[in-house]
Structure 1
Amino acid sequence: MNLEQLFIENKEQSISGRYLTLDSVEPLLKKLNTNNELSIIGQSVLGEPVYKYQIGSGKTRIFLWSQMHGNESTTTKGLFDFFNLLKSGSELATQLLDTFTFCALPMLNPDGARLYTRVNANKVDLNRDSQDLTQPESRVLREVFEDFKPHYCFNLHDQRTIFGVEDSGKPATMSFLAPSYNEAREVNDSRLKAIELIAGINSVLQRYIPNQVGRFDDSFNINCIGDTFQYLGVPTLLFEAGHYQDDYKREETRKFVFMALLTSYKILSENDIVVNGIENYLNIPQNKPVFYDFIYKNIKINYDGIEKITNFAAQYKEELIGNDIVFNAYIAEIGDLEGRFGHYEYDGKGATYQDEHQNFPKLDQKATFNLDNNIKFVNGLIKI
């Protein structure tokens, strides 16, 4: 199975970038709705429809949801790429639809998506509302779960550019978790199924992004939806779509989301369970917050008349301006930065820092400055 070619053939070209709203995906859902697969199963706080897309007639029921956090759109793109495959009429599509019934909520938090926020319109993190169910979106998710009675759950998220694969200096382009079902983080039959499936996904992704797959922290929190569904006895997989080199729009990462989804269903349909699944799963390195977007090394600063050589880092903030996400770089840390990596690194070799305010960087100011008066950085990058 040529995963690269399948992605190219099925990539949904009409959606791209980081800002994905209901306006973007509603026409796609209606286009995919050729046999009454689409329904509105609830409303957001601000009255936006929450859609369910259900397709397939197989015995194994798969429940997926994306954009529970409104500013996490990469898995939504990958999900629509996968929907296109299911609608392709290919032999593979027929096999998948005969084996599985897929039930997806492609955009659980449409208000957060429009505002480009993690939380919903009531400023509640839906992934901390699985017990109290205070929000309409949380209640919709739980109602579909109870009605659909899935055999597997796929909890689809993005993670920030700060995450790397332990201390390897490699970004965590994809990370996974089989959530715990209790405080002791024990492995029961349900969690083992998720663990074995992730081990199989990882073995395939290593061919495409070697050493760029991480394992998310498995501390138990019953308020998180994945932990709750695992606690209720349904194998649940957390997907975290992260950074790929120079891919701030996450167009490369969406490919690996597609690959991971398709691989998981091939494994399940062929019962191709990984031997020593727990060991292989635990050998996936931990996700660690070790990255900044920019690191500047060996920079000379003048502070109160004292010159010293130091390092500093800058991090993008994703800011919604109009209908565009603008990446603005702000200085985030100053010091030796031991154990930290930059997606972009620059060695100043003792060049002197200057900006329009002072002769030293200041936390939270824009990363626009000069080195030795002849190298200009604007918004983190060298201005050519």
Structure 2
Amino acid sequence: MNYEKIFSQNKEEKIKGRYITLDDIEPILMKLNSNNQLQVIGKSVQENPIYSYQIGTGKTKILLWSQMHGNESTTTKALIDFLNFLNNKSELANQLLESFAFYSIPMLNPDGAKLYTRENANKVDLNRDSQNLTQPESRILRKIYEEFKPDYCFNLHDQRTIFGVGDTGKPATVSFLSPSYNEERELNANRIKAINVIAGMNDVLQKYIPGQVGRFDDGFNINCIGDTFQSMGTPTILFEAGHFQDDYEREVTRKFIFFALLSGFIAIYENVIVEERIDDYMHISQNNPNFFDFVYRNIKINYDGSEIITNFAAQYKEELINNKIFFNAFIVKIGDLEDNFGHYEFDAKEKMYTDSDNNIPNLNQKADFYLEKDIEVVNGLVKL
């Protein structure tokens, strides 16, 4: 199957980048609303509408939700692309629509999306509110879950650039998890169903991003929505959209999330998930927080009159300014980086560090400096 071609034919060109708000997706959803598939299922803290989009007449019911965390927009883009695909009247789309009933919530947290924050407008992490249900957005999702009674849940998120695949030095571009349903992290029939789907998606992704698929930690937390739904008996799959090389806008990762969605539903449709694939799932390396956006090695600094060679790392801080995301690099670690990797690495070969302040790198300092005064680094990047 030509996943690349299918994606290119259905990619929604009107949305791109990291800052995706309700204003961006609302007109697209309205355009897709050809047969009353679009409904307002509730309001956010700030009274913004929360939409559902339902399509398909099949027996297998799929519940998908994205942007539970407002600043995690990659899966929202991929979900919109997938909705475009379901509406394209192709033979494959029609087969899936006859087999599945899709209930999607493209943006559960529109307030957080507007503010570009993880939390909602009350500064509550909705993914820690699945038991207390203190927030309107949490209650809406639970209500839909109880009414729709899904056969599978797809919990769609982004993850930070700090995650790599084990100790391979490769970024975790896409990560999955079949959440635990109890403290013991035991396997039951429902969790294995989710595991089997993940194994099928991994088979496809390895053809495109070999070694860049990770497995998220399965420590049990009943306050997390995936753990809750898994414990309530529904096979649940956590998606984490991560970093691909030089793709801070996550437009490439968006494509691979689309591949994962489509291949996952094909696996269920073709019933290739009946075979237990626990070993295949467990062989997906766990995520390891061993990456920085920038790593600088073998830097010479003058420290109290003595010249020493050290390393340091910088990380982007994403800042919303005038409705645009800016990536500003700050120094976050100095010293031993032996077990760490950088999405961008630079070997200074013992060149002397200088800056406009005190000529010594400090934590939380903007990553603007010179090496021997002939190499300039601006916002983390070496200017050549």
Normalising by structure 1, report the TM-score: 0.99
User: Would you say the 8 A contact 1:290–1:339 is kept in 2?
Assistant: yes
* Pair 1:246–1:274, CA change in 2 (3 A): farther
How many residues are treated as equivalent by the alignment? Answer: 384
Equivalent in the alignment of 1:125 = 125
> How many angstroms apart in 2 are the aligned matches of 1:169 and 1:116?
29
1:349 partner SS: strand
Equivalent in the alignment of 2:244 = 244
Equivalent in the alignment of 1:70 = 70
Equivalent in the alignment of 2:180 = 180
1:228 to 2:233 alignment: no
The letter for the 1-side match of 2:41 is I
Equivalent in the alignment of 1:317 = 317
1:64 partner SS: strand
Matches within 5 A, 1:132-281: 132-273=132-273, 275-281=275-281
User: Would you say the 8 A contact 1:197–1:274 is kept in 2?
Assistant: no
Equivalent in the alignment of 1:364 = 364
1:237 partner SS: strand
User: Would you say the 8 A contact 2:192–2:276 is kept in 1?
Assistant: no
1:313 partner SS: strand
User: Would you say the 8 A contact 1:314–1:331 is kept in 2?
Assistant: yes
Equivalent in the alignment of 2:28 = 28
> How many angstroms apart in 2 are the aligned matches of 1:212 and 1:7?
20
> How many angstroms apart in 1 are the aligned matches of 2:179 and 2:82?
24
User: Would you say the 8 A contact 1:200–1:274 is kept in 2?
Assistant: no
> How many angstroms apart in 2 are the aligned matches of 1:364 and 1:185?
38
Structure 1 runs of 4+ aligned residues shifted over 6 Å read none
1:317 partner SS: strand
Equivalent in the alignment of 2:52 = 52
> How many angstroms apart in 2 are the aligned matches of 1:142 and 1:28?
25
1:81 to 2:94 alignment: no
Tell me the CA shift for residue 275 of structure 1. Answer: 4.1
> How many angstroms apart in 2 are the aligned matches of 1:347 and 1:168?
20
> How many angstroms apart in 2 are the aligned matches of 1:323 and 1:117?
13
Tell me the CA shift for residue 54 of structure 1. Answer: 0.5
1:82 partner SS: helix
Equivalent in the alignment of 2:327 = 327
> How many angstroms apart in 2 are the aligned matches of 1:236 and 1:96?
19
Equivalent in the alignment of 1:92 = 92
The letter for the 2-side match of 1:88 is N
Q: Deviations over 1:201-256 (max 9, x none)?
A: 11111000000000000000000000000000000000000000000000000001
User: Would you say the 8 A contact 2:64–2:156 is kept in 1?
Assistant: yes
Tell me the CA shift for residue 65 of structure 1. Answer: 0.1
Equivalent in the alignment of 1:296 = 296
* Pair 1:274–1:313, CA change in 2 (3 A): farther
Tell me the CA shift for residue 15 of structure 1. Answer: 0.3
User: Would you say the 8 A contact 1:74–1:158 is kept in 2?
Assistant: yes
The letter for the 2-side match of 1:23 is D
Normalising by structure 2, report the TM-score: 0.99
The letter for the 1-side match of 2:146 is E
User: Would you say the 8 A contact 1:60–1:151 is kept in 2?
Assistant: yes
User: Would you say the 8 A contact 1:199–1:274 is kept in 2?
Assistant: no
Equivalent in the alignment of 1:353 = 353
Q: Deviations over 1:242-292 (max 9, x none)?
A: 000000000000001000000011001110127440000000000010000
The letter for the 1-side match of 2:349 is K
Tell me the CA shift for residue 336 of structure 1. Answer: 1.7
> How many angstroms apart in 2 are the aligned matches of 1:36 and 1:76?
21
> How many angstroms apart in 2 are the aligned matches of 1:275 and 1:335?
48
- Identity over aligned pairs, percent: 67
Tell me, which stretches of 5 or more residues in structure 2 are unaligned? none
Tell me the CA shift for residue 45 of structure 1. Answer: 0.4
> How many angstroms apart in 2 are the aligned matches of 1:246 and 1:83?
27
The letter for the 2-side match of 1:252 is V
Tell me the CA shift for residue 304 of structure 1. Answer: 1.2
Tell me the CA shift for residue 323 of structure 1. Answer: 1.1
1:39 to 2:39 alignment: yes
Tell me the CA shift for residue 303 of structure 1. Answer: 1.3
> How many angstroms apart in 1 are the aligned matches of 2:196 and 2:382?
45
User: Would you say the 8 A contact 1:178–1:236 is kept in 2?
Assistant: yes
RMSD: 0.7
The letter for the 2-side match of 1:247 is D
> How many angstroms apart in 2 are the aligned matches of 1:317 and 1:96?
40
> How many angstroms apart in 1 are the aligned matches of 2:119 and 2:208?
33
